[in-house]
Amino acid sequence: MKINKFEFPKLFLDMHNLGWTKPGLDYVWFNDMEWYSLDEILTWEKNKEKHIVNSPSIIPFAHTGGGDVWGWYIEDIGNPIVVLCYHDDTIGKVYAENFEAALFRHILEFVSESNFYTLGGESYQIDCISAKRYISEWRNKFGQYFDPEWNKEIEKILLLDLKDYKDTRLSKVNLEYEVFITPEETETLITKYILFDKIDTEIIWDIE
């Protein structure tokens, strides 16, 4: 299936056919990627007045809880990359070289961020058992599309317990929370498995 000469990744089409992207019992929760259904994507242009991100350079596939849009950036139709388009700007961040790499990176970031419940934690946080249930589900559902080495890394994570982490990267205030692997370990895995020349660079996504 194509739109604007863009051919949807097989993984996404399979997700659609299996009901993983539509609300219901089969929907696959994926942290801060809240899927758009294929129907929503195909009618995006017709309903462009409803959307913050509206550009012929972007084929959206999900959004964040804060309203940013995940999409395939198709300026180079032969090499569409995954970007995160900020809802309050025309700047986007290059996230991954392809859809599969974007999902793998998102799993790595999920297990290394402050997502997990601790005593006195926030209500939106997830307990360790539920987190591992999600990670296992992603491994089972997406694993057939992943590089075998990616699956081995996810399986290693499933054997880990949460550990304390003190985050001093972004401010003088030390933030303490629990992770399965540290952000530094995630960066090492990104560099090892999915690094490419454009990763984490900025793009202007609202090209007419």
Neighbours of 95 (CB within 10 A): 21
Cα–Cα distance measured from residue 146 to residue 123, given in angstroms and rounded to the nearest whole number: 32
Categorize the per-residue pLDDT at 124 as very low, low, confident or very high, splitting at 50, 70 and 90: low
Is 164 a residue whose pLDDT tops 80? yes
What is the Cα–Cα distance from 190 to 184, expressed in whole angstroms? 10
Whole-angstrom Cα distance, residue 104 to residue 102?
A: 5
Element (DSSP H or E) covering residue 203: strand 202-204
Average pLDDT, rounded, for the chain: 88
pLDDT at 76: 86
Residue 129 CA: distances (Å) to CA of 134, 169, 199: 9, 28, 32
Which residue is it, tokens 């056919």?
Answer: 17
pLDDT tens profile 16-53:
999 999 999 999 999 999 999 999 998 876 655 555 56
Q: Are 179 and 163 in contact (CB under 8 A)?
A: yes
pTM for the full predicted model: 0.91
| pLDDT on residue 55 | 75
> Looking at the predicted structure, is the pLDDT value of residue 14 above 60?
yes
The amino acid occupying position 165 is Y
